[in-house]
Amino acid sequence: MTQYIDIAVNLLSERLRHDIDSIINDAAKHHVSPLIVIGSDLDESAEACAVSQQYPQQLFSTAGVHPHQASSWDSQSSNKLKQLALQPNVVAIGECGLDYNRDFSPRPAQRQAFAAQLALACELNMPVLMHCRDAHQDFIAIVNEHRSALPKGLLHCFTGTKDELEACLISDLYIGITGWICDERRGQELAQLVPLIPNNRIMAETDSPYLLPRSMRPKPKSSKNLPQYLPYIVQVMAQLRQQPETELAKYCFQNSCNFFGLPIPLKRGED
């Protein structure tokens, strides 16, 4: 049986939070389990932690402040985030990083909050799940300032250029790929880059409820992306890489377990 882990689910978004049971169950029917629930600010991170405690081994969570929320970062934020991160079901710091595309928070505030969260990840020896959009130069500079003490880093929902991918791989980051590669309008460049990601650095994600794969057939009736669609994304990734789908799925699964420190061994017969 092929196994999958969705490494980025915005389960507490308004489009998903009322259907948590069915989302978990439908994903499991497609062998997508566990799900990593993303925290985007301190309040949501606390809620993500609480929800994941209600679904042991089915949900794990992250704790962080997204660049969109960076203006909320203050002198108490690091201590509050640390207390959340110490909970056993919290498996990474994040989502944190930089977003110069929308600039919902001032760029200096984004850089300050990002650097502080990387420093905390180093202090706690925890992996960090990161976001970067239209901010690569500052992003990679801040990452590299902390990289020697940072245990593991993941740039989720990668949509950058070849040069940006190469810089991330030089910094030994994991790369998360979404259904962006299934979008014929804006995903063509990323589709060409997917084969360049080493087997031991690639992961798959939906970023649910966003980024519904446009090429899915039959097309889902709802525009809401769901974790149960992750196998389709892996299938497209495998086609682009000219790699057996089961082989790629195994690498993605193992990389996800290793990155988040999940106690989920492969089943016998899948070695």
Distance CA 250, CA 271 (A): 9
Mean pLDDT for 21-37 is 98
pLDDT single digits (tens) 136-180: 999 999 999 999 999 999 999 999 999 999 999 999 999 999 999
pLDDT at 248 over 50: yes
The distance from CA 242 to its chain's CA centroid, rounded to whole angstroms, is: 24
pLDDT (0 to 100) of residue 105: 97
The number of beta carbons lying within 10 Å of the beta carbon of residue 19 is 14
Q: Which of 75, 128, 66, 71 is nearest to 98 (CA)?
A: 66
266 domain residue, yes or no: no
265 domain residue, yes or no: no
pLDDT band for 264, please (50, 70, 90 cuts). Answer: low
Per the prediction, the chain carries an average pLDDT of: 95
pLDDT (0 to 100) of residue 263: 77
Structure tokens at 235: 């299938």
| DSSP 8-class letter at 67 | G
Which residue blocks in 101-229 are alpha helix, DSSP H? 107-124, 136-146, 162-170, 188-193
176 domain residue, yes or no: yes
139 domain residue, yes or no: yes
Structure tokens at 11: 């389960």
93 domain residue, yes or no: yes
14 domain residue, yes or no: yes
pLDDT band for 266, please (50, 70, 90 cuts). Answer: very low
170 domain residue, yes or no: yes
pLDDT band for 60, please (50, 70, 90 cuts). Answer: very high
Give the whole-number percent of the chain exceeding pLDDT 70: 97
| Residue range of the domain that includes 226 | 4-260
pLDDT (0 to 100) of residue 268: 42
270 domain residue, yes or no: no
Count of domains forming the chain: 1
Mean pLDDT for 70-98 is 97
pLDDT (0 to 100) of residue 265: 55
Q: Which of 33, 35, 34, 37 is nearest to 63 (CA)?
A: 37
Sequence letter at residue 200: N
pLDDT at 1 over 90: no
Domain of 48, CATH number, reads 3.20.20.140
